Amino acid sequence: MPRLLRMPGISADAEEVVFLEWCSTVGSTVAAGAAIATVETEKANVDIEAEEEAVLWRTLIEPGDAVAVGAPIAVLAGVGEDVSDEGGVLDSLGLATTSTADAAEHQVADHDNVEERDNVEERDNVEERDATPKPTEATAPSPAADIGVGAPRANGRLFASPLARKLARDNDIALAGVMGTGPGGRIVRRDIDLARAGRAEDRVSQSSASQPREAIGRQTAGAAEFVDIPHSGMRRAIARALTASKQNVPHFYLESTCRVESLLEMRETINNDSQVRISINDFVLKAVGKALMDVPEMNVVWTDDAVRRFSTADVSVAVGGDHGLVTPVLRSVESLSLSQISGHVRDFVDRASRGQLKQGELEGGSFSVSNLGMYAVERFAAIINPPQAGILAVGAVREGPVVTNGLVGVGSVLTVTLSADHRGVDGVVAATWLKRFTALMENPALLLA
């Protein structure tokens, strides 16, 4: 019996995702455990895997659609199953015998928690029908205009993806005036983006027409000097999380300067004898993990009911990618060797650049490390990644004045800044942890024990 494939819950805080692409074509057989589709959450791209071998019989959504968790996205049939009675199959699943795009228009209604959105969407449909010009003898559309600006279907409705509708509402754009480029003239996100860009150009043109000739050149030149880049889901998530962190988490900051001549010598020795290149950041991550084990009061997160202390050091690594800053979690850092840490971090960086980090790799951890030393930044303070208790900002190794036995000389130093959550971590605890971290960095042999 064919069955509906519904959007699974991707993460605890994701009620809606953006559909990116189908990994299989309609009519193909998908093996159990194989990726059937890819969606974008606010943190990462996630593959939806088939629970059992099945045939992708019909798709109900298109790339660019915003889809609620629990909404139907496809119809799956058993391998070799007779699905020749298309109408009967659709009726048995509660789907009208309409086109794929028509079925997608009603997908949100299957989710118990989005009744309000259905009401808003239905109201929008009524407004769009009312706003659509009635064809007259003078304005009757030609056959070539069946799919175009504001082209309605036979029932008078304008079809647009849920994401396109939301963007249109947010930007006060009438869908009746938007050219649909999706399947069957469906309006999708890129169409709204083009409409926004066109409206901005129109405003510039109208403003220029009423200005003196000498002002027109300045306005036109000025308008060409910027471009609006729509926020991605990940960028919005980063903005919300960091804003909430600064507003709700009482940050305090401690700074320490580590002498790292011994660490640099050990790193050179290891890299001369190993095929795996060890970076300074690998030493930092190892020292952070061991320090969290030595000062367990720092290895915590704040919750509404308790301070939760962890038994392993799970440390997030700040990685900049094409899709924005992500913080994959390195599990049990204290038990990993430097070469293992290096391998994991390189893998994170590679997959982050391709948007292939998994949702589970971005969740958890009690502490983060953000290293800008490769950009010659000497020191900076970072914002805590909630609900974690701290983040260590790492600057560049540089030559600086050092004192040895009362004599001033030149040495290799590294400045780090600890940002801590004062709700779960007291100043003494943070200072104790930073002192231990500094000792480990200045005596790197302890990291190999």
**Burial classification of residue 264, based on how many CB atoms lie within 10 Å of its CB (0-12 exposed, 13-18 middle, 19 or more buried):** middle
* 339 vs 282: CA distance, rounded Å: 8
Dihedrals phi, psi of 4, to nearest 5 degrees: -80, 135
- C-alpha closest to that of 25 among 56, 46, 62: 56
* Cα 91 off chain centre by: 37
End-to-end alpha carbon distance in the chain: 59
Q: Is 422 a catalytic residue?
A: yes
Q: Which of 106, 251, 323, 422 is catalytic?
A: 422
* 273 vs 336: CA distance, rounded Å: 19
List of residues 6+ apart from 69 with CB closer than 8 A: 7, 8, 9, 10, 14, 15, 16, 17, 111
Q: What is the largest CA-CA distance in the chain?
A: 98
Which sequence positions are flagged as catalytic? Answer: 422
